[in-house]
Structure 1
Amino acid sequence: MATDVRLDDDPTESWVTIDGQVLNIAGSDLILSSTERRGTHGGQFRRALVHDTNDGLTVNFAHDYTGGVKINGASLNLKVVSQGQKSELPKAGNAGDLVLTRNVTSIEGGAVVGESFTLWLCTGSPAQTRRLNAAASWLPISTGEAVVGTSE
């Protein structure tokens, strides 16, 4: 497949069209900014996506978009932190982080006879120990009984 960059592709608006299978950005920040849609945030940047210093992908870096992030039709896949008989929560965490743990029950020989999942919410480090790099605190999120899906 050939690639192409077309400027002013739409005669009624200022468009840049990029045709290709992969858009490779050799940088850390993707900035989307529209002066007429800008809210009350007085910052210089509108960083939509940032390759952060923890080798993570951060959306709305530094809360640059005061209206927050809205995801329509989202499907979320949380990282499972462990797959053993004992799940361990990360020592580091920020208030609002979510972690899914999977606990497996197996019998001798390794056959899995049961599993359970727990969703955890990070409340950050306790205020009195925050400066000491203390471990994050996690709260389990209670859910109801499992329901079997029925729609295709």
Structure 2
Amino acid sequence: MPRIVTYYRSIQPLGLVVTGAAGAGKAVLALELLLALTDGRNEGDPVSIRIPLSLWDTERQPLSELLQQRLTEAYDWPVELAAGLVRHHLVLPVLDGLDEMDPWPSTGSPDAEATRAIAVVSALNAYQQSRDAGPLILTCRTRHYEALAVLSLDVGDTRAGCLNR
């Protein structure tokens, strides 16, 4: 665990995609990293919060609103405090389950209609490419993540590869 914390802190901008097979421990690793970063948090470091991606209504809710909502729900913080943290990129979202956003056929290949997952990839790329890129950690099955990168390019999102770490 100390090596993953050191590795994560060395990445610029702060962004990590944890991939692996089903049951490989992606969510556990991401949660352990979240806890270690929280334990070693210094003033000015982002506030970590776990967000199951299945909660995100990508059609109606921008990423900034999702982050703000989760902070107010999880920590019972005032809306103004949560909004300020999000605005100043002082939130570290640990986003779990990109591969669970859309139904996947039994073949294991992605459906060309994986619209929610593609929307997430696009939103996260925009989040990471802003002038003051926000930190993030994302989990996804390797096969699904690789397929989503191809699907994203097929629908014209040329930023799809930006989350590859």
Q: TM-score, normalised by structure 2?
A: 0.23
Superposition TM-score, scaled by structure 1 size: 0.25
Structure whose CA Rg is larger: 1
Q: Which structure has more RCO (C-alpha within 8 Å, separation ≥ 6)? A: 2
Q: Which of the two has greater strand per residue?
A: 1
